[in-house]
Structure 1
Amino acid sequence: MIKNTESDPEQLREIIIESIQEKKGKQIVIIDLTEINNSVCDFFIISHGESGTQAKAIAQNIEVKVKQTVNEKVYHREGYENAQWILLDYSTVVVHIFQKELRDHYKLEALWADGAISQIGEVE
């Protein structure tokens, strides 16, 4: 399996957060998984949109900004079809963009509570 040349996870994390904020993503959370043995990635970033259209706009903005800034394409993406839960996998950083109802249902923050969880302020 061939992967992209990986960007610095912290830099990628910051680009993704800014991209979410540009599209008014809600309740941005970072889960730092670097201290967890055998974790799937270094960081989860979780946010939600108020509609499927907004969730898609957030995800698309992330893809564009990451490509423009560090020339990295998303390794794997899922969920654009119904836009209830869009996943963007950048290998070291995995992004979850939900619609609120599904986010409340799956509670990823609780599932990965062993990681260090940080809340990021929203841009008004």
Structure 2
Amino acid sequence: MTATDRALQLVAEAALAADDKLAHDIIAYDVSDVLGITDAFVLASAANDRQVKAIVEEVEARIARELGEKPVRREGERDGRWVLLDYIDIVVHVQHSEERVYYALERLWKDCPVLELPGEVAEQSRGRRAAADPSEESGTVVGFPGAAGGDL
């Protein structure tokens, strides 16, 4: 089983929306073979709580505008550190950078296929991370297994 065409459309719009709000480390996984409740996860990071909220708002607005969908569930909004948007076909996780490193969702889903993101979204988001953190070396994302230059 693979992610449906509808799930892929939602993934693309969510990634574009997150990219518009300067999210970094945007990645999507096809989890349809291991989870029966959704087809894909989209992960995106933000430098602070305000940016997490801005990304979430843009994802919701863009998906509603472009695809006519609203999330069936939204969790974590109060704290603004990790917000989850459940669209049934996909689940979008927008995390503060510290939560992203701590919970390391990439490690949990590393055996799942990585979905291609539109245009230069993945490259731009990794570049934002490297620019924000001068300790980054040659595009390697610290704390994200499998995210070293070109593996995504």
Common fold by TM > 0.5: yes
More strand by share: 1
Q: What's the TM-score once normalised by structure 2's chain length?
A: 0.72
Q: Note if contact 1:19-1:62 (Cα within 8 Å) is conserved in structure 2.
A: yes
CA RMSD of aligned residues (A): 2.0
Q: Runs in 1 of length 4+ with deviation above 6 angstroms?
A: none
Q: Would you say 1:41 and 2:38 are equivalent positions?
A: yes
Between the two structures, name the one with larger relative contact order (CA 8 Å, sep ≥ 6).
1
Aligned residues: 118
CA separation in 1, counterparts of 2:94 and 2:76?
9
Q: Which residue in the other structure is 2:92 paired with?
A: 95
Q: Which residue in the other structure is 1:76 paired with?
A: 73
Q: What's the TM-score once normalised by structure 1's chain length?
A: 0.87
CA separation in 2, counterparts of 1:116 and 1:83?
28
Higher Rg of the two aligned structures: 2
Task: Give the Å deviation of 1:37.
Answer: 4.1
Unpaired runs of at least 5, structure 1: 1-6
Q: Which residue in the other structure is 1:67 paired with?
A: 64
Most deviating of 36-45 and 107-116: 36-45
CA separation in 1, counterparts of 2:15 and 2:64?
14
Task: Give the Å deviation of 1:116.
Answer: 1.1
1:49 to 1:8, Cα distance in 2 relative to 1, 3 A: same
SS in 1 for 2:63: helix
CA separation in 2, counterparts of 1:38 and 1:95?
15
Give % identity: 28
1:121 to 1:40, Cα distance in 2 relative to 1, 3 A: farther
CA separation in 2, counterparts of 1:27 and 1:58?
13
